[in-house]
Amino acid sequence: MIKTTVRDDDPIHHSTDCLVLFCLEEKKPAGLLKELDGRLKGTISSAFENKVFEGKPNQTFWVNTLGALGAKHLLLTGLGKAREMNGEKIRQAAGTAAKLAEKSKSKTLSFAVREGALARIKHPCPGETEPDPACPVAEGSYLALYRFDHYKSKSAEGEENADVRSVESIVLLVARAQHRAVERAAERAAKIASAVVTARDLISHPSNTATPTYLADTARAIAKKHKIACKILDRKEMEKLGMGALLGVARGSHEPPAFIVLEYFGAGKTQPPVVIVGKGITFDTGGISLKPPANMDEMKMDMSGGAATLGTLQAVASLKVKANVVGIVPATENMPGGSAIKPGDILKSMSGKTIEVLNTDAEGRLVLADALAYAARYKPKAIIDLATLTGACIVALGHLAAAVIGSDEKLIRKLSDSAGITGERIWELPLWPEHEKAIKSDIADLKNISGPAFGAGTITGAAFLKAFAGDFPWAHLDIAGTAWTGEAGPYQAKGATGFGVRLLLHYIESGAGRKKS
């Protein structure tokens, strides 16, 4: 993560390339802003008067201080109305400011975290695990400054292609005491952002790098670094367990599949864990039910659920959360080939249930079927699966929310609460008995698709998964639309989002330290 220091300089004299001050939406500058306005000869008050800057969410105003302040540039960034304030607004504003500072070639970026708007609201980030606003400030900046440039050659110095980064260090300014509190908040933010970056990197790597073996190696590295348990089952061990659904999908590929299990026990061995299951299709061609060529490259992101699972385990382990969490990632490619499964083939899953595969492109639910059956071994307090499962989910909710479907109202409500706080939105879709009936096969127990008469394919996918989740409280997140974005956001570059890591971390932390929910 970018080097970050906490200093108690006075913001007026603090020397930096860019000083960010967060502002509320109001009629005219108040507090420190008023003092700065005096030094800047009324620049700020005239911006307010002309409505060039009013403190609206993510609105910015860039001032060259020409020596009037210790900072070369002052960057006012809006947070909106005081009564609507929350951590997500702060994260977004900080991200917006960081991106602008980066674009303007600032090397040092300083945030006043105890001044301006942040000083004037008593609880600026309600619901966040960490109440200090320095946390969303740092988190938003780290995530905004993320770039995936592993494949840009850096040898040719000075050439266009040499992707030089500008922001080298971040300073969090605390005018008064509370130095240590801000330091702790920033450390937490760095751990969270690193976990999100783990997920984003895995998703961004092309499938010829990020193979099932690569996912397994990453899981091992996370386990080693944070001293948690890691088990990787190979094809033989999967055969022994009877994981015929996962192995069926893996048959078309020359890449060996991997069944990844990470175990983090932060609350003693007796409490049942939350099990997170993430779809780990490292490339989805559709198999014999081949996908059309347009945008097929994006199917390298079909392991986003698995990436978010590994990221979440990294987050909980690095933050030493007092909870038990298991992460499971069934990983394989979905390829056509001489040995690939064909439409009509019947597979026997680990649960014993047989599946008629009517479309080999509905492969996510097949690998998840065996992973969910494996999850039951833990007698979990809850099972949450994340999967880029259906294109239909993008039709329903676009890129703005993941779909959530589950068997337990309380679990869905808790996840929805965490979604609201972290800004990783989810929206519930129904699952009715008709949907479950629609996937009954004529010649096997289940079939992996149903007809169009039952509406959203997203629900069909969930109905199929439900058959394997047992009687444990279970929720399925279809992240097909949220795992990947064609449009940059305030703390988001184009491409992989790492969706799910912050949401699940919040969910787990909200239940941590307490007894069974």
Site string for ligand BES, 333-362 (x = CB under 6 A): --------------------------x-xx
* Shortest spacing between CB 312 and ligand BES, in angstroms: 20
Q: Which of Mn ion, ligand BES, Zn ion, none sits in contact with 509, Cβ below 5 to 8 A by type?
A: none
Number of chain residues interacting with ligand BES (CB under 6 A): 15
Alpha carbons 224 and 3: distance in angstroms, whole number: 24
* Shortest spacing between CB 476 and Mn ion, in angstroms: 16
Alpha carbons 490 and 99: distance in angstroms, whole number: 8
* 457 lines the binding site for ligand BES (CB under 6 A): yes
Q: Which residue number, 414 or 435, has a Cβ lying nearer to ligand BES?
A: 435
Pairing of strands 3-7, 169-173: parallel
DSSP states along 211-228: -HHHHHHHHHHHHHHHT-
Residue whose tokens read 């298991």: 326
* 128 lines the binding site for ligand BES (CB under 6 A): no
Q: Which of ligand BES, Zn ion, Mn ion, none sits in contact with 359, Cβ below 5 to 8 A by type?
A: ligand BES
Residues between 392 and 451 that touch ligand BES (CB under 6 A) = 392, 449
Could you say which of 54, 128, 263, 363 contacts ligand BES (CB under 6 A)? 363
* Shortest spacing between CB 371 and Mn ion, in angstroms: 16
* Shortest spacing between CB 143 and ligand BES, in angstroms: 22
How many CB atoms neighbour CB 77 within 10 A?
28
Q: Measure Cα distances from 294 to 192, 194, 283, 363, 489 in Å.
A: 34, 32, 15, 19, 24
* Shortest spacing between CB 393 and ligand BES, in angstroms: 8
* Shortest spacing between CB 286 and Zn ion, in angstroms: 8
Alpha carbons 93 and 489: distance in angstroms, whole number: 11
Closest CA to 474 of 323, 276, 326: 276
Q: Which of Zn ion, ligand BES, Mn ion, none sits in contact with 436, Cβ below 5 to 8 A by type?
A: none
Q: Which residue number, 302 or 424, has a Cβ lying nearer to ligand BES?
A: 302
Counting beta carbons within 10 angstroms of the beta carbon of residue 295, is it exposed (0 to 12), middle (13 to 18) or buried (19 or more)? Answer: exposed
Q: Which of the stretches 56-64, 137-145, 219-227, 384-392 binds ligand BES when contact is defined by CB under 6 A? A: 384-392
* 132 lines the binding site for ligand BES (CB under 6 A): no
* Shortest spacing between CB 488 and ligand BES, in angstroms: 19
CB 29 within 8 A of CB 196: no
Alpha carbons 282 and 334: distance in angstroms, whole number: 8
H or E element, residue 139: helix 134-144
Q: Which residue number, 281 or 469, has a Cβ lying nearer to Zn ion?
A: 281
Q: Which of Zn ion, Mn ion, ligand BES, none sits in contact with 480, Cβ below 5 to 8 A by type?
A: ligand BES
Could you say which of 17, 54, 284, 356 contacts ligand BES (CB under 6 A)? 284
Q: Which residue number, 125 or 281, has a Cβ lying nearer to Zn ion?
A: 281
Could you say which of 130, 139, 255, 284 contacts Zn ion (CB under 5 A)? 284
Alpha carbons 27 and 22: distance in angstroms, whole number: 15
In the structure encoding, which two tokens stand for residue 478, read together? 């279809």
Q: Measure Cα distances from 435 to 212, 248, 357 in Å.
A: 32, 24, 17
Decide: helix, strand or coil at residue 80. strand
CB 105 within 8 A of CB 21: no
Residues between 24 and 83 that touch Zn ion (CB under 5 A) = none
CB 43 within 8 A of CB 68: no
Residues between 291 and 330 that touch Zn ion (CB under 5 A) = 302
Number of chain residues interacting with Zn ion (CB under 5 A): 4
Active-site positions?
291, 365
Could you say which of 116, 364, 380, 495 contacts Zn ion (CB under 5 A)? 364
Q: Which amino acid is at 449?
A: I
Q: Which residue number, 174 or 389, has a Cβ lying nearer to ligand BES?
A: 389
Q: Which residue number, 390 or 492, has a Cβ lying nearer to ligand BES?
A: 390
Q: Measure Cα distances from 392 to 7, 395, 440, 452, 456 in Å.
A: 49, 5, 21, 11, 6
* Shortest spacing between CB 151 and Zn ion, in angstroms: 24
Phi then psi dihedrals of residue 175, to 5 deg: -65, -35
Q: Which residue number, 93 or 426, has a Cβ lying nearer to ligand BES?
A: 426
* 215 lines the binding site for ligand BES (CB under 6 A): no
The per-type count for the chain, helices as H runs and strands as E runs, is 16, 20
Please tell me the chain's helix, strand, coil percentages from 3-state DSSP, rounded to the nearest 5: 35, 20, 40
Q: Measure Cα distances from 33 to 55, 168, 172, 444, 465 in Å.
A: 11, 27, 18, 70, 55
* 391 lines the binding site for ligand BES (CB under 6 A): yes
Please report, as ranges, the residues that interact with Mn ion according to CB under 5 A.
Answer: 284, 361, 363
Angle, vertex CA 58, rays to CA 178 and CA 3, nearest 5? 45
Which position's Cβ is nearest ligand BES?
A: 391
* Shortest spacing between CB 286 and Mn ion, in angstroms: 5
Q: Which of Mn ion, Zn ion, ligand BES, none sits in contact with 449, Cβ below 5 to 8 A by type?
A: ligand BES
Which position's Cβ is nearest Mn ion?
A: 361
Q: Residue numbers of the site for ligand BES (CB under 6 A)? A: 284, 302, 359, 361-364, 388-392, 449, 457, 480
Q: Residue numbers of the site for Zn ion (CB under 5 A)? A: 281, 284, 302, 364
